[in-house]
Amino acid sequence: MGNYSPFLFLLALSLAAAAAVSAHNITEILAANPDYSSYNSFLSQTKLADEINSRQTITVLVIPNSAFSAITASHPLPVVKNVLSLLILLDYFDNTKLHQLTDGTTLSTTLFQTTGTATGNVGSVNITDLKGGKVAFGSAAPGSKLASTYTKSVKQIPYNISVLEISAPIIAPGVLSAPPPSSSVNLTALIEKAGCKTFASLVLSNGLIKTFQSAADKGLTIFAPSDEAFKARGVPDLSKLTNAEVVSLLQYHAVAKYLPVGSLKTTKDPISTLATNGAGKFEYTVSVAGDSVTLHTGVDSSRVADTVLDSTPLSIYSVDSVLLPPELFAKSPSPAPAPEPASAPSPAPASGPSPASAPSPLPASPPAPAGETPDGAPADAPSTAAERSTSGKSAGVTVKASVILTVTVTALSAFVISSVLMS
């Protein structure tokens, strides 16, 4: 390879790592195999595909259409989602790891455990390496059977996502029981239990509980501020708001669609709320840092603290700050500095009259030397338009430079790798 090949190779790896974007798309992975078309379709319908795509270390246990049809043909969508959630492991397993389990068995947490409806070990899966090379799967709940076996490996992006086929669904106790309709769920009780009693009380006293209940069956997401959030500095005094403003504020904490955590993490566009109308947007945007999801209103930000309930088509979250819409609480400009108190003018000393035509005793100021400008001369002050123009050009240069740098890094990586291979 030559004297510089090791250096070039390391440089290529560094550049490639800097330019790479870690991502996977479970829908595209499964689309390559028609045997998983039903499984793939229900991942999209339940929005579990968003959850899978938003995570960096995950294993998806897939089932062929022939084995999955028994679930989809006789159970409603919320039950199908629960079954699928038990097949999504929050850890990375490939063929090698399955056959090298410590003590031959392990428990793995599944996505079902994060929904707020799992109790005990119901949201975990038992993986056991049996004699003869077989690997079996079953619910971790006491008394559950290992009723499913590992069939084959489908796809791996090492330590990011692994897709494995198993022979049958993993059924945990109670997972096939259909939950009550979302409209019959006691929303206020759930919200109060999550430590959001102030919000629940406001929803009840302002007559919004009926609005929330009627929207729940069609799709509803609620962001309930904690009791501590209402005590935080900067939260407006609600008693000084009109009834209409309080209602809009409460509606601003609900979205007329089902948004599980995975969908929140993959949302790029502003989210409309129940308060959204022709007169105001009442929207917020989402940012993600690792597993942390934050909502931004334009006035303040609020972190999604916990999942209270995730049951298709209803999601309830607790958030650590009250969401303040700019339509009601737009930031006011900084107050102008108070004028200094006027001081009484000093009395002028009495002087004798002077002739009107008396010349000034001061000599005329000499001209300023070349290259210097007298203090206070307006010639040196750039115009506002010029400043803005310069600022705009600088911003444009920065953006272009960032894009050029990204393209250059990617191209340079390809060039260096090619050079190494050809050496």
Higher-confidence residue: 304 or 406?
Answer: 304
Residue 223 pLDDT more than 70? yes
User: Above pLDDT 90, what percent of the chain?
Assistant: 61
Residue 72 pLDDT more than 90? yes
Q: Give the integer Cα–Cα distance in Å for 27 and 91.
A: 19
pLDDT attached to residue 65: 96
C-alpha dist (Å) from residue 87 to 48, 104, 152, 167, 303: 11, 20, 15, 12, 28
| Cβ contacts of 401 within 8 Å, gap of 6 or more | none
Q: Give the integer Cα–Cα distance in Å for 131 and 51.
A: 34
Burial class (CB in 10 A: 0-12, 13-18, 19+), 315: buried
- The mean pLDDT of 374-386, rounded to a whole number, is 39
Are 218 and 255 in contact by the 8 Å Cβ rule? The answer is: no
* Per-residue pLDDT reduced to its tens digit, 103-124: 999 999 999 988 777 778 899 9
Of 179-183, 240-244, 272-276, minimum mean pLDDT range: 179-183
Using the 8-state DSSP alphabet, how is residue 280 labeled? Answer: B
Per the structure block, which two tokens stand in for 270?
Answer: 């502003």
Residue 246 pLDDT more than 90? yes
* Per-residue pLDDT reduced to its tens digit, 280-322: 799 999 999 988 999 999 999 999 999 999 888 999 999 999 9
* Per-residue pLDDT reduced to its tens digit, 324-361: 999 999 854 334 344 455 444 444 444 444 444 444 44
- The mean pLDDT of 86-110, rounded to a whole number, is 95
Q: Give the integer Cα–Cα distance in Å for 244 and 418.
A: 65
Higher-confidence residue: 396 or 55?
Answer: 55
Residue 6 pLDDT more than 70? no
Residue 249 pLDDT more than 90? yes
Q: Give the integer Cα–Cα distance in Å for 190 and 213.
A: 13
pLDDT attached to residue 376: 40
Confidence of residue 179 (pLDDT cuts 50, 70, 90): confident
Q: Give the integer Cα–Cα distance in Å for 257 and 254.
A: 9
Q: Give the integer Cα–Cα distance in Å for 162 and 99.
A: 15
Q: What domains lie within the chain, and their CATH numbers?
A: 26-166 (2.30.180.10), 182-328 (2.30.180.10)
Closest CA to 224 of 238, 212, 214: 212
What is the rounded end-to-end Cα distance, in angstroms, of the chain? Answer: 5
C-alpha dist (Å) from residue 41 to 44, 46, 262, 368: 5, 9, 16, 81
Cα 129 from chain centroid (whole Å): 37
Q: Give the integer Cα–Cα distance in Å for 248 and 329.
A: 12
Higher-confidence residue: 379 or 67?
Answer: 67
Helix 384-422 to helix 5-19 angle (10° resolution) is: 130
Task: State if pTM tops 0.75.
Answer: no
